[in-house]
Each structure stands twice: as C-alpha cells, then as structure tokens.
Structure 1
C-alpha cells in the first residue's frame, strides 16, 4: 500500500476512529486501526467487538493495500507531524511514514487477522437532525446505570410507535425520557448501549443536517456522512417505564431553573461531605427552602416559587436531582410531588417532550 494524505485530515479521522478502541481489550489486534486503501479512498476501521467505527477519507492512492497498526502510536505520530502531506508506504507488515524531514518505521499486523464489522442485512433506516440526536443523548444517557449486574439498564431504550419516538434511560433511582416525532412507518423497540451513545456524542457536531440510523438484527448503525458507527444492541426486557410515570400529584411548583440549579449546587457542596449526598427541600407559602448539613457545617437556601397544593418536606440525593435539572434547557420548570415517599417529576413548563423522574430519600420527620 502507498498513499499520500494531508496531515490535518488524517489526524481528524484518527481522533474519531480511536473512540472505537477499548483500553481493556485482551486481544492485541484490537489495539490497532485497520487501514485499507482503494480507489482514491483510505478507510480506517476500529472495534472493541461491541462498538465499531469506519471512517472514509479521500487520499491519493498510489498502490492499494491494507495493514493493522497500533492505534495510540499511529495517532500520536500523525498528530505530532508537520501540517503537510504525509506519505505512507507499507510492505508486508511494515509501515513507513514520511512527512517533510520526519520518517518513522513501524511494525504492524496483517489485515486478515482483523475482525469484520457486521454486514447490513434486513435493514430498516430512518433519519433525524444531528443536533437533535446530540440533545437527546445529553438529556438521557446520564441516567443509565453503571451496574453491570443489570446490563439492560446500562442502555437507552429507543422505541417508536406510530411515528412517536421515545428515548428512555433509568437506573433504579431516576428516569429520563425524551419524546420526538419521527418519520417512520415501522414500530421499533431496541436498547442501545449507553457507552455507544456517549462515544457517538463526541463525534456528532452541532449541525442541523440529518444523520441516518440503520437498524439490522442485533445491531444499530449511525451514518454520519463519511463515518459509520456500528454497535451491538442490548438483549433483554427493558422495564415498563410507563407504569412509573404517574399523572396525579398533590403538590406542584413552578420555579426558575437556573435559580434552583445554582441553589442546589451550593447546597451540594456540603451534601458531598456526607455519604448520602443529601439535600432537604421544604415547600410552603410560595417559598422553597433547601437545607443540607454535615459534620463540618450546614447551608440554608431560600427561593421564590409558585406553589399549588399541599406543603411538603422531601429529601433527595443532590446529584440525582441536579442531573435532571441541568439536562433541561428552558428557563422555567415544573416539579410535581405525590408526598415525601413517591418520585418527583420534573419537566419544562408546557413541554411534555422531556420528563425527568427522581426518587426521594426516605427520612424521619425529625430529620427535616
């Protein structure tokens, strides 16, 4: 193989492709990037057998061929080279990299040893704007669990019914739900690994152009123009999240999101000193009082709110309630309560497209 390619272009695509490399792999070949040059295109491939990424770059292909080269070393070299044309030449399992006055010689592996990514058969395709998908990931993926003993909850449920799409993440303590309209005549129910969506989010740009989502048995593929992200789907039965979200409530408050967020962040400075990470909320007479105390001190915050219904004392893990509030972009939010032992529902005012549900922490009356 012999190619000539611009350093900046190659460095950009290596940065994308490295998101498919796992630091925990036991297979040495998976530490590598597969390079394949053919018909004016350099194709880069990485995989950890769960996520796979293909990226295509235009290059001057003087001789077709392929090789697997260590991802970290190859990436570090390319990023440090001058912003100029790079000449890459391979013979058998050896690679020569030349750029201006710099020259590197590396040992690689045969391309035949590299695992193949899934073949797209029986596929279903749909599209959505890239910036919308980026927003959906930001608002949901944080609520997936890191507990590998419940693998289905490490993913985000993607469900389409009659052109209405839902993205749902939950970990047993909170639930994040984002609804959108989508142009699909097919009903869909799959669970996408949270890790895949987190890595995809790093690649996606704040752009209104469409991304194609391709579903095939056992896998999902995100087509971002010259980059394809492949992922296994999670197997198992996702929890029936609709049963968790109740419509009825005894107390409702309207509050400025930024004010509430900043007060909770200040209160959480002390909450973090305790294992429970606890903040206590007292709702009465259009006032919200937030308290937290630890062995080294206490904090008291007071916010104006609009309250409907019963006064209430309730407590939360400060991280869990803050995560949901931070995910909302609108200025005003509503919080719905059904007593001090049932979940709190948080959503933007007059917008049912995003719902965040968080469980309270049970406290004795005297602890408030």
Structure 2
C-alpha cells in the first residue's frame, strides 16, 4: 500500500472516525483505524461495535492496500506533522513508513482481515433531513438524557417519525425534552438511539443545508452524510409514552422574555450552589417574577417582568434544569404553563411549535 494525502484532509478523516473509538473494547483491533487505499481515495473506519463511523478522503493512491493502525498514535503523529503532503507506505516487518518533509516515522500495523465488517443496511427505507436541523434537534434534547444506568432505555433518545413529523425525545425523570420538525414522508418509525451516539453524530454534522439520509433496520440506524456513514446499534425496549407525561391543561400561563429570565436565573444560581439541589424559588405575581435563593453562601433576589394569565403562584426548581432548557431555545419570548407549585411546568417557545420542555418542580418544606 502506498498513498500520498494532504495533511488537513487526512487529519479531518481521522478525527471523524476517532469519535467511534472508545478504547474500551476487549478486541485490540478496535483500538485501531481501518484504512483502505483504492481508486484515488482512502476509506477510514472506526468502531466500538455499538457505533461505527466510515468516511472517505481523496488521496493519490499509488498502490492499493489495507491496514489497521492504532488510532491514538496515528492521530497524534499526523496532527504534529508539518502542514504538507504526507506519504504513507507499507514496509517490511508489518510496519508502515510515514514521511512528511523531513519527518519519517515507522509504525507497526495490524492485520486488516481481522477487522470486523460493518453491519449490512438496506438503504431503501429512508428519511431525509438537513444537517443543521438534525444538529439543532440533537442539541435541544441530548441534555435531558438519563445518566442513571438502572434504566438503560432512558440513556437513549427516542427517534420517532410519525404523522409527517420527526420527533426527538429525551427524559431523565426530572425533565422531558421534545423537538419536532416537519418531514415530508409517510414512513412511521420509532427507535431508541444511544444518547452518546447522537452526541457524537451532532459533532460531525455541520450547520448547513446538506441532506442527511437516515435508514433503519431492526437493530441499527444509519446516518449517511456526503462522505461519511455513521452506523449505530439501537437500544432494546420500548420508550416511555412521553405524550402521557405532558399535561393537557394548565391553570396559569406566563409570557416572559427568555434572555432576561435566563440571566436572572444564572445570577440567582450563584447562591444556589450549596449542596447539589441548585434550589431557586420563583414567586410569580401579576406582572413580576421574583427569583430568590438562600444558602450558607448568602442570599439573592432578582426581578423579571412578565405577563400572567391566571392565579399567582410560588414554585421552586433546580436552576440547572431550567437553564438547560432556556439555553436550548431560540425565540425571544417563552411561555411557561403551570397548574400548582408541585405539578410539572411546561415551557414552550411563543412563536414556534417545534420545542416543548417539561421540568418537575422541587417540593418546598413548609
């Protein structure tokens, strides 16, 4: 195998596939990047069996061949080489020689025939969505993935195509995040994708209008980008019926400026860091929201203007849960719907139906 490739192209390919290499696999071969040089391009693959990423890089291939090379050392070498063309060739003793300007590295490689093949996915049943929309949807839900390993299904994100809508849903028992986008398809599908996989997918996606083709099987999901394929194992089991968790009625509605609310909560939370509750109290009156927090550190009082429909209320929250929601919303104004000081609060954007969040309050000791 002999090829010559521009450093920045090779490095970009390595950094994409490295996202699938955890170093936790019992198979040593999966610590490596699979490289196949053929027909003027390199095919790179990284995998931990649950998540596999394949990408192609344009290259001057002089002699076809395939190898597997330790991802960590290969990535570090390429990163530190000069910004110039890199020549890589196989030599004796199962080694490759990496040459760039005056630098020469000899590195041992592994046998490519031992590398597991990627799952075969029939790409007939597929939906299409733009990169920027999918990236935004993942960002707007992934913060609510459960960290608790006792309910593995909640460590995933529900990926639901239904009634010409794509819905991404995450919940952890304290908050629920739902993002929806119109999708011109008649396909109905419901799968649960490991949350950590989708977070890695979002790092590869860019803020552009290029199309991502998404294909499903019973066990896997495939995201097909321009030069990159991401294949993930699906989680077994049925996701929680999230619609049943969203209250159908409310007794009061608050219309408030999102940035002012976020700023007020961020300042109040500075005094709420005592312990892990991050407790802040909201006192909602006819035209004012008073945010307070008392701890051993001291106390704070913040005021934000609002418009209220319904009765006045006192309610308390973990400030972090509210901030996670507000940071992932885009509208200037948000709507908060509540029924009592101990029932869930639903937060929506004023002018958009695409986001819906539910946050449980903290019960106050009387």
TM-score range, shorter chain: over 0.9
Say whether the 8 Å CA contact 2:123–2:215 is kept in structure 1: no
Q: 2: distance between equivalents of 1:356 and 1:17?
A: 33
- Deviation by residue 1:237-277 (Cα, 9 ceiling, x = unmatched): 10000111112111111100000001101111111122321
- Deviation by residue 1:117-167 (Cα, 9 ceiling, x = unmatched): 111137411111110001101101111111121111111111112312211
Q: Secondary structure at the match of 2:44?
A: strand
In the alignment, what sits opposite 1:346? 347
Q: 2: distance between equivalents of 1:338 and 1:93?
A: 69
In the alignment, what sits opposite 1:324? 325
In the alignment, what sits opposite 2:176? 175
Residues 1:299 and 2:305 aligned together:
no
Q: 1: distance between equivalents of 2:116 and 2:94?
A: 17
Say whether the 8 Å CA contact 2:146–2:172 is kept in structure 1: yes
Say whether the 8 Å CA contact 1:123–1:215 is kept in structure 2: no
The runs of at least 4 consecutive aligned structure 1 residues that moved more than 3 Å come to none
Q: 1:253-268 counterparts in 2 under 5 A? A: 253-268=254-269
1:23 is displaced (CA, Å) by 3.6
CA 128–185 in structure 1, closer or farther in 2 if over 3 Å, else same:
same
In structure 1, list runs of 5 or more residues that go unmatched.
none
Say whether the 8 Å CA contact 2:256–2:306 is kept in structure 1: yes
Q: 1: distance between equivalents of 2:179 and 2:66?
A: 43
Q: 1: distance between equivalents of 2:311 and 2:350?
A: 20
Q: 2: distance between equivalents of 1:117 and 1:262?
A: 47
Say whether the 8 Å CA contact 2:331–2:351 is kept in structure 1: no
In the alignment, what sits opposite 1:186? 187
* TM-score scaled by length of structure 1: 0.97
Q: Secondary structure at the match of 2:269?
A: helix
* TM-score scaled by length of structure 2: 0.97
Provide the aligned C-alpha RMSD in A.
1.2
Residues 1:42 and 2:42 aligned together:
yes
Residues 1:8 and 2:8 aligned together:
yes
Q: 1: distance between equivalents of 2:152 and 2:185?
A: 28
In the alignment, what sits opposite 1:65? 65
Q: Secondary structure at the match of 1:305?
A: strand
Say whether the 8 Å CA contact 1:274–1:294 is kept in structure 2: no
Q: 2: distance between equivalents of 1:108 and 1:32?
A: 9
Q: 2: distance between equivalents of 1:2 and 1:323?
A: 49
Q: 1:1-368 counterparts in 2 under 5 A? A: 1-91=1-91, 93-121=94-122, 123-365=124-366
Q: 2: distance between equivalents of 1:153 and 1:246?
A: 20
Q: 1: distance between equivalents of 2:23 and 2:253?
A: 47
Q: How many residues align?
A: 365
In structure 2, list runs of 5 or more residues that go unmatched.
none
Q: 2: distance between equivalents of 1:194 and 1:123?
A: 25
Q: 2: distance between equivalents of 1:241 and 1:56?
A: 39
Say whether the 8 Å CA contact 1:123–1:216 is kept in structure 2: no
Q: Secondary structure at the match of 1:20?
A: coil
Q: 1: distance between equivalents of 2:3 and 2:166?
A: 44
Q: 1: distance between equivalents of 2:86 and 2:353?
A: 52
